[in-house]
Structure 1
Amino acid sequence: MEPRRESPQTASPAKDDPRNLTQDLVVLVRSFVQELHPQRARRLALTLASRLEDDLGIDSLARTELILRVERAFHVRLPVARVGAAETMADLLRALNEALAGEGGKPADLHPIPALPLVLAATEAQTLTEVLDWHVARHPDRLHITLLQDDSTILDQLSYGRLAAQARQIARGLIARDIGPGDRVALMLPTSIEFFCAFFAILYVGAVPVPIYPPMRPSQIEDHLRRQAGILNNAGSRMLITMPEGLSVAALLRAQLSELESVASVAELMAEAGDMRLPPASTPVSTALIQYTSGSTGDPKGVILSHANLLANVKAMGAALEANSADVFVSWLPLYHDLGLIGAWFGCLYFGAPLYVMSPLSFLVRPESWLWAIHRFRATLSAAPNFGFELCTAKIDTAHLTGLDLSSLRAVANGAEPVSPYTLRRFTEKFAAFGFRPEVMMPVYGLAENAVGLAFSTLGRGPLIDRIDRNALMSRGVAEPAKANDQNPLELVACGRPLPGHEIRIVDPAGHEIGDRQEGRLEFRGPSATSGYFCNEAKTRDLIHDGWLDSGDRAYMAEGDVYITGRIKDIIIRAGRHIYPQEIEDAIATIPGIRRGSVAVFGMTDRVSGTERLVIVAETRETDPAARHEIETRAHELTSAICGTPPDEVVLAPPRTVPKTSSGKIRRSATRELYQRHQIGVAQGSLWLQVLRLRLAGLGPQFIRVMARGSATLYALWWWSVICLGYGLAWIAVMLLPRLEWRWAVTRAIGRIALAVLGIQVAVSGLDHIPPGKALLAFNHSSYLDVIILAAFLPGIPTFVAKKRFLGGMLIIPFLRRLGTFFVERIEMMGDIKDIEMIIAAARQSRMLVMFPEGTFTRRAGLAAFHLGAFKIASEADLPIVPGILQGTRVMLRPGQWFPRRAPLSLSIEEAIQPTGTDFSSVLQLEQQVRKVILTHCGEPDLGEST
């Protein structure tokens, strides 16, 4: 039976006298505003007409705290829809009256939700519409989506069959309005059944959905649509699908947008549906989504994502989460955002897992509704940005969580904005008493340009927090582990390893890949990566080069995990929304009294909460208090209109406060430093002296970085010169010397000399573990450098076994053959019988075989699956297998990267393992024993088991 939550009392003394109720509410709100904005409250005349955001500065996050205080003070449970749409004090009072009258409702007596039967994922499907049709063909009545008002109220449900049927009907309505393949259709709907059906309707006609976020409240729709005009214009949207309340004002935009032909609601499209046929199905390379990343800025960036991109990302995330139809996903994430749209919805669609979804407003009004929904529906998966976890930690009273059980969760992704280690600790500690396990928390990293996910933490590992030396990272770009007595370390959360099939690299400003714990620009590639930005060739050229995409983030790698250190640009992320300083700066500069070109907007990360504060510094000559107050008020209004949230602080500074470059551009980072040092408005001396000091402060780190890049380039030139010269000398000697042992002696000597000249030290251990006579040495394989290291340090006459496809040049073929290398078709159990017999015969003649059971190597760090061919040979020839471990070669010369880096190298040989038989079970057991030894010592993650 479902545990009952504590029901709020429904009686209040103030209820009987409306005048007392109004007065009590005003006193409570005034006290809250005084705490929130002390200076504003002193000048505030609070009335029932006061607007919560514009006049009182209560944004969506502060609204949550206010509602919590109102509910505590009046012993009620406010209706979510009413308080979410409240714009004025009068609206809030009406919501309070409804709750006191018993109309706010209370948690129902809930019963357990029965589990659905297991089904397969739509692995055969190649497009999103094929995924839906695949499920419809097999189980049309299976529950797909449950729409929640809150944790206790189900608004509607969608089966796969109903979703497809309604989407096809809406699609025919689109065709009736002449929407066809390739057309872009903007979708501005709240979390609703209409959104899901309209999205697939657009796909069914071969058009491209362009989701944009709806206004928080219907009355804001006109201003909101005007801010979205940039996106609609860039996308060339022929139609906008929106809610009925927006039809009249949205139609006004048609005069501003040349390609916008119509505005419609879902109900209108369903009513206009005729009996026309749908066009042919889309292909995997067809565009399935244009996902905008820059809101209403002057240069919108619409990420083009194909069906293949989206399904590749869903499959990769599913593999990382070990997802299947037994999972249950509860989400409050907005559907216009990639994490809610692709991560939550498309993931559940593909794997056949039920999705329980509520609106973001429900979560913001009452954060505990998310946790209770997880409890009620026994969710195994969920996700939220960091601020969501912080909101739960700060705003939920655990006294009201009696009976809450979060133990059903397998993983909760934390992504979409910087992950705070403080928030992770507080959330885990607070909700441990309610069944939340630390290993469930899964920090992740992703971006719209890769659909959504790029790196996921290891399932069941829990958060990994790196404590690093703050000064080392800031001055030298090196993430050195902090000393035990460091009183001010920088803590960063590991965001996981690249998803299967995807790659990440960290590069310096010259584009050269750098090693572990070195900070640089994060680049990526993989099957989920976008082909570019829609109708924006300039931004696309900036995004993609040499097959790699620029993330715009700075990061470093350590032991396979990626750590994000910051954004290259000055994007401010607040409550999961991107805020762009330039747009706000331009708007503030239009206020009378503000010096144009002297406004700086920046974010200040609160290390405690993990969220960013929005700060505006604007220069003015005004000294009259009333005039300055008017400027501040106008700044709050403009900022709220642009980004939907007021600034945390507006600082009016005297002229020549905001630092600029020599060309007149605003230096936001320098302004932020002044703000942090509490020097805004303080006499700083002449501007040139301030700029000079700031530039001098940066000369040291810049000089260090320039010298490091120059040193790396010179080292690379020297490195390859020595390698080429050494190979040339070895080639001549090997071709001239008549005896095999002489050839190997010279090759070994030249290899060691070359490594010494390059200053490469190799820590070698365990050579005495190699038995005399016949043996098979098995090594992990991560770089072309592996062969050089083995040739330089293995004793005797090693016989390497290589694939025939390695043969690729007349300078390589004779050289390797003269060294006794065997070439085979495939190093696998089912390879050419002649190859295996040849190798077994050689082994029985006391030859020391050297093989790489992985067969090949990749850029991705980790030990790949082993092929069984080497172990079959060892079993047939009764050869002891000697596990060998190479470390550091992948870092020094990464596959696909010809720019070597300095790194410590080691070669270790472990004790031999004797085969126990020739049957398949014995061969498999031998492979598992050897692989376990190598995996234990190689220091890289496990990428697969035996083939």
Structure 2
Amino acid sequence: MVKHDDSHDMADRKIERRLLSLLEALVKEIRPDRSDNVRVSLESRLDRDLGLDSLARSELLLRIEQEFGIRLPESALLAETPSTLLQLLRSSTADSSCRVAAESVSTKRKAANADEAEPGGEPSDAETLNAAMDWHLQRHPDRTHLYVYGDGDEPQVLSYGELNREAQAIATALAARGIRHGDRIALMLPTSPDYFFAFLGILRAGAVPVPIYPPARPSQLEEHLRRHGRILSNAGAEMLITVDEARKVAHLLHAEAPHLRHVITLAELDAPSASVAPRAPSASSLALLQYTSGSTGDPKGVQLTHAQLLANIRAMGERLEAAPDDVFVSWLPLYHDMGLIAAWLASLYYGIPLVVMSPLAFLSHPLRWLELIDRHRGTISGAPNFGYELCLRAITPERVQALDLSRWRVAFNGAEPVSATTMEQFAERLAPCGLRQEALMPVYGLAEAAVGLCVARPGRGLVIDRINRERFASSGEARPESDPAAAQPFVNCGPPLPGYALRIVDAEGHELTERQEGDLEFRGPSATSGYFDNPEESEKLYHDGWLRTGDRGYLANGDLYISGRRKDMLVRGGRNLYPYDIETAVGRLEGVRRGCVAVFGDPDPTTGSESLVVVAETRIDDPAKRQELCRVIADTVVDVVNVPADDIRLVPPHSVLKTSSGKIRRAATRDVYRLGRLGEKPLPVWRQVIKLTLRAWAGRARQGLSAAGYWTYYLYAWSLFGVGFTLFALAGLPLPRLAWRWRVAHYVCRAMARLAGIRVEVDGLEHLPRERPGVIVANHASYLDALILTAALPCSVRYLAKEELESRTTTRLPLTRMGALFVERFDPRQAEQDMHQAERAVANGDILAIFPEGTFTAEPGLGDFHTGAFLTAAHAGVPVIPVAITGSRQLLRGKEWRPHPGKVTVQVSAALEPQGSDWDAALKLKHAAYEVILRHAGEGRRRP
């Protein structure tokens, strides 16, 4: 009897695998550019998760019937998940006894999962961070997740259950205060249990956390509030959760962030008596806005979805062989991607206990980090290079003789340039404590990839590539060099993570071969879709489908070597010079504060050349000693790069500007240098507060004037549109011929756009069909697209409109008179009939105009295309004419009703002829049209 059940179980699993394999093949056909990011499971939603529109589902059912030799019921068209299709498939291929066996197997699986109470496995099917948390709560709610160290010697210990209870209470309180799905909430909290409660509570509320950091010193107040006011404004943050001390001056942020409604502490977020259920996020929901460090003038908030974060966490965990018996020890800031994602969220996902201390505690007692690794038997930990440097300064034989670091298997170094000397000395000094040199691991990552991009397998240790310095500076060739005097060392950062790819390109964007230095680009499942509400910077990110990192380096045997930042590179006499090498060498000189040296280029507008400027902090006041130090610095610069420094400035401590994570802000220091303000003492706090208050009043006055101007234009524009549509209804709709009605609509829309300050520029009208029918497909970014397209196209077309517009009296008559065809978006059976209606219209000689995305969002990016327009063209044997509309999203964003004047470009491209009339021909048309519109629309792909 057992063998009989087993045979049915095996047959059932075989059917399941065949079905999922068939689905995966179809998804790859429809979405070849994103198929690597799509996880097909029985619970995947056919429309939202897999991108199958109604016509693609029809194709899927046809393939299922061919694959299994059965006939599915008509209700299969309404299936929402592969699980439903599997049930229909079972009922068509098996008798009732097989169904009983399948239910028995399902019950056994559930029982097995229920018994899995302690560590083991991972939430591999979770699509969101919330779902990953739920997975752990179901299996081991009492398992310890966090050891949070404060001022005392004992940590506060938190289990998954305790963390979730506090987070749920915060989520309920946020929902009661009106926080909605997708709202941005800023966190300005130090490392403490409250930070974890608040961050997870924001996710539980379906909102988006925006981590920022509180000021380290009162003297930094003005710069701190100015920088973060711009970040809060760019993020459109509704609320700032902060500590009581920062809250006293946080009201000054209202001048820079007018949308900020609440500045509160966690203690003020009392849960209401009546529970308000927040909306759970989906895989494509925004999970985090990570602002890149040092972004003052033009804040750049990296958009990361739940799917992107989980993809990066899974790739890092796979490479590092992460398991629940690991222990992660971290002092990394939680507002930084390495501390937040790599340390905490990855630990949460894999069920790894996280031991955490504050960055300030580390800076004051660096060896406390190593003591906690010893105390908790830590296996994974890391820091930027300066963290290892601080430990080296603090290490004494007496203090480390009792440490046991033998279980530390991954000691990663990233977030800033890695010094081979620092790592070698660190391993040598701590070898008596059991630290193995094989544990050292330089890594590379960036916020635009979530956090990790290049990570080696554990146990490889430090790998140094020594190349000829002179040849590298002059030609960019990384030729190995055996002579130590002529060699320049570079640290191996490892190969790309699974699922990621790297390439090195030259200034023209051409890919280079191995050991040739150039600009680093990558692609992978966690690549951001761009910077939040910053389309100009987002557009600069992408190059031919690859994401620019801004770093320079070279590849050798598939591994990455970073040579410097593109924006920091200086070119002198045909040589490429990188500030880090000079800063490191000068920072080692006696009298110079280590880690407090900035090197940058200062362009001369008259000659076009760059001056090499060195700014170094020192406590030396004696003029003779300062002069001698300048001489030593000058000699050191020549020794390192064989080029003399043009200007050397010695400045007091804290004059060299840094980011929150300790990186040198070269561009900001250069700006202060140009203003002649290097070394100036900051204003007293009371003067800063007065200055900020006055700026706040001035800001409110500007906002009032701006609002008045906005409302004036708002009323003018919609009054203009109203008058224009009324005139068209009176003069155009009664005309007997569609061509005449279209001609009137064309000129009315052109006049409305011109009077509203919307400049419509059209290129490629010669590609429009004149003597034959066709299908025009255009990207859809705004409610204004139909008006713009009507103003741009001189020939009459018939729009495909959603069926809901036919049921509204205000839209039914004008659309019907303009020849619009109405299509059902949600009923697959009706959608197929609507497609036949469209084919008949084309057969009668009409030109159809379709927005194949179906809908639009406020976020930039070209969405997936539905298949219907292309099946219509293929079946009718008519061309598809791709049209790209650029700029309309900025004029009327998302679902809002706030128009803006500006420029819109309409690019009509050459017609695409169908190469057949079947499904494959339609897919080829779809992919070709998508690529053409993507090339001209200027927004990149919309990430799933």
TM-score (norm 1): 0.50
Aligned length: 506
CA drift of 1:643 comes to 7.3
Deviation per CA, 1:469-489: give whole Å up to 9, x if none. Answer: 00111101100000x334131
Q: What amino acid maps onto 2:434 in structure 1?
A: G
Deviation per CA, 1:108-156: give whole Å up to 9, x if none. Answer: xxxxxxxx95332111211011111111111111101110137x72231
Once residues 248 and 241 of structure 1 are traced to their aligned partners in structure 2, the CA distance between those partners, rounded to angstroms, is 12
Q: Which moved more, 1:336-345 or 1:158-167?
A: 158-167
Once residues 650 and 562 of structure 2 are traced to their aligned partners in structure 1, the CA distance between those partners, rounded to angstroms, is 36
Matched residue, 2:537: 539
Alignment CA distance shift 1:446-1:266 (3 Å):
same
Alignment CA distance shift 1:643-1:502 (3 Å):
closer
Alignment CA distance shift 1:343-1:602 (3 Å):
closer
- Whether 1:614 and 2:593 are equivalent positions in the alignment is no
Q: Is the 8 A contact 1:170 1:198 kept in 2?
A: yes
Alignment CA distance shift 1:647-1:481 (3 Å):
closer
Q: What amino acid maps onto 1:144 in structure 2?
A: H
Q: Give RMSD over aligned pairs.
A: 3.6
Once residues 307 and 568 of structure 1 are traced to their aligned partners in structure 2, the CA distance between those partners, rounded to angstroms, is 30
Matched residue, 1:301: 300
Q: Is the 8 A contact 1:472 1:478 kept in 2?
A: yes
Once residues 283 and 533 of structure 1 are traced to their aligned partners in structure 2, the CA distance between those partners, rounded to angstroms, is 20
CA drift of 1:182 comes to 1.3
Matched residue, 1:291: 290
CA drift of 1:396 comes to 1.8
CA drift of 1:225 comes to 2.5
Deviation per CA, 1:425-458: give whole Å up to 9, x if none. Answer: 1101100011010000111000000000000022
Matched residue, 1:387: 386
Q: Is the 8 A contact 2:597 2:656 kept in 1?
A: no
In the TM superposition, what are the counterparts of 1:218-257 in structure 2 within 5 Å? Answer: 224-257=224-257
In the TM superposition, what are the counterparts of 1:162-181 in structure 2 within 5 Å? Answer: 162-181=162-181
Once residues 307 and 235 of structure 1 are traced to their aligned partners in structure 2, the CA distance between those partners, rounded to angstroms, is 18
- Whether 1:133 and 2:134 are equivalent positions in the alignment is yes
Structure 1 residue matching 2:486: 3-state secondary structure: coil
Matched residue, 1:148: 149
Alignment CA distance shift 1:283-1:645 (3 Å):
closer
Structure 1 residue matching 2:387: 3-state secondary structure: helix
CA drift of 1:251 comes to 1.7
Alignment CA distance shift 1:549-1:307 (3 Å):
same
Alignment CA distance shift 1:496-1:193 (3 Å):
same
Matched residue, 1:507: 505
Q: What amino acid maps onto 1:509 in structure 2?
A: A
Deviation per CA, 1:67-120: give whole Å up to 9, x if none. Answer: xxxxxxxxxxxxxxxxxxxxxxxxxxxxxxxxxxxxxxxxxxxxxxxxx95332
CA drift of 1:280 comes to 2.6
Matched residue, 1:414: 413
Q: Is the 8 A contact 1:613 1:648 kept in 2?
A: no
Q: Is the 8 A contact 1:172 1:275 kept in 2?
A: no
Q: What amino acid maps onto 1:130 in structure 2?
A: A
CA drift of 1:639 comes to 5.6
Q: Is the 8 A contact 2:180 2:205 kept in 1?
A: yes
- Whether 1:464 and 2:448 are equivalent positions in the alignment is no
Structure 2 residue matching 1:149: 3-state secondary structure: coil
Q: Is the 8 A contact 2:410 2:458 kept in 1?
A: yes
Structure 2 residue matching 1:226: 3-state secondary structure: helix
Once residues 315 and 183 of structure 1 are traced to their aligned partners in structure 2, the CA distance between those partners, rounded to angstroms, is 27
Once residues 648 and 535 of structure 1 are traced to their aligned partners in structure 2, the CA distance between those partners, rounded to angstroms, is 24
CA drift of 1:176 comes to 2.4
Alignment CA distance shift 1:155-1:256 (3 Å):
same
Q: Which structure 1 residue ranges, 5 or more long, are not aligned?
A: 1-115, 573-600, 620-624, 669-947
Once residues 511 and 227 of structure 2 are traced to their aligned partners in structure 1, the CA distance between those partners, rounded to angstroms, is 40
Matched residue, 1:373: 372
Once residues 434 and 117 of structure 1 are traced to their aligned partners in structure 2, the CA distance between those partners, rounded to angstroms, is 32
Once residues 489 and 354 of structure 1 are traced to their aligned partners in structure 2, the CA distance between those partners, rounded to angstroms, is 43
Structure 2 residue matching 1:498: 3-state secondary structure: coil
Q: Is the 8 A contact 1:199 1:209 kept in 2?
A: yes
Q: Is the 8 A contact 1:507 1:521 kept in 2?
A: yes
Matched residue, 1:189: 189
Once residues 199 and 351 of structure 1 are traced to their aligned partners in structure 2, the CA distance between those partners, rounded to angstroms, is 18
Matched residue, 2:522: 524
In the TM superposition, what are the counterparts of 1:518-597 in structure 2 within 5 Å? Answer: 518-570=516-568
Deviation per CA, 1:902-936: give whole Å up to 9, x if none. Answer: xxxxxxxxxxxxxxxxxxxxxxxxxxxxxxxxxxx
Structure 1 residue matching 2:302: 3-state secondary structure: strand
CA drift of 1:247 comes to 1.5
Deviation per CA, 1:34-68: give whole Å up to 9, x if none. Answer: xxxxxxxxxxxxxxxxxxxxxxxxxxxxxxxxxxx
Deviation per CA, 1:492-521: give whole Å up to 9, x if none. Answer: 010000000011111111111111101111
Alignment CA distance shift 1:145-1:647 (3 Å):
closer
Matched residue, 2:333: 334
- Calculate percent identity across the aligned residue pairs: 51
Once residues 283 and 643 of structure 1 are traced to their aligned partners in structure 2, the CA distance between those partners, rounded to angstroms, is 31
Of 477, 485, 491, the match for 1:493: 491
Alignment CA distance shift 1:315-1:260 (3 Å):
same
Matched residue, 1:446: 445
CA drift of 1:278 comes to 2.3
Alignment CA distance shift 1:471-1:640 (3 Å):
closer
Alignment CA distance shift 1:252-1:633 (3 Å):
farther
Q: Is the 8 A contact 2:658 2:664 kept in 1?
A: no
Once residues 633 and 236 of structure 1 are traced to their aligned partners in structure 2, the CA distance between those partners, rounded to angstroms, is 41
Q: Is the 8 A contact 1:204 1:278 kept in 2?
A: no
Once residues 229 and 516 of structure 1 are traced to their aligned partners in structure 2, the CA distance between those partners, rounded to angstroms, is 44
Deviation per CA, 1:250-295: give whole Å up to 9, x if none. Answer: 12222432100110111111x2444323223111111000100043
Q: Is the 8 A contact 2:303 2:532 kept in 1?
A: yes
Matched residue, 1:61: none
TM-score (norm 2): 0.50
Deviation per CA, 1:645-703: give whole Å up to 9, x if none. Answer: 899999x99xxxx9x9xxxx99x9xxxxxxxxxxxxxxxxxxxxxxxxxxxxxxxxxxx
Q: What amino acid maps onto 2:143 in structure 1?
A: R
Q: Which structure 2 residue ranges, 5 or more long, are not aligned?
A: 1-116, 571-578, 589-593, 601-612, 616-622, 628-648, 679-944
Once residues 368 and 564 of structure 1 are traced to their aligned partners in structure 2, the CA distance between those partners, rounded to angstroms, is 29
Q: What amino acid maps onto 1:465 in structure 2?
A: I
Q: Is the 8 A contact 1:470 1:489 kept in 2?
A: yes
Q: Which moved more, 1:326-335 or 1:246-255?
A: 246-255
Q: What amino acid maps onto 2:228 in structure 1?
A: Q
Once residues 663 and 420 of structure 2 are traced to their aligned partners in structure 1, the CA distance between those partners, rounded to angstroms, is 27
Alignment CA distance shift 1:147-1:222 (3 Å):
farther
In the TM superposition, what are the counterparts of 1:622-701 in structure 2 within 5 Å? Answer: none
Deviation per CA, 1:8-36: give whole Å up to 9, x if none. Answer: xxxxxxxxxxxxxxxxxxxxxxxxxxxxx
Q: Is the 8 A contact 1:227 1:642 kept in 2?
A: no
Q: What amino acid maps onto 2:431 in structure 1?
A: A
Matched residue, 1:923: none
Q: Is the 8 A contact 1:331 1:370 kept in 2?
A: yes
CA drift of 1:227 comes to 2.9
Once residues 491 and 122 of structure 2 are traced to their aligned partners in structure 1, the CA distance between those partners, rounded to angstroms, is 32
Q: Is the 8 A contact 1:294 1:300 kept in 2?
A: no
Q: Is the 8 A contact 1:636 1:647 kept in 2?
A: no
Q: What amino acid maps onto 2:245 in structure 1?
A: E
Structure 2 residue matching 1:549: 3-state secondary structure: strand
Once residues 353 and 644 of structure 1 are traced to their aligned partners in structure 2, the CA distance between those partners, rounded to angstroms, is 24
In the TM superposition, what are the counterparts of 1:466-485 in structure 2 within 5 Å? Answer: 466-482=465-481, 484-485=482-483
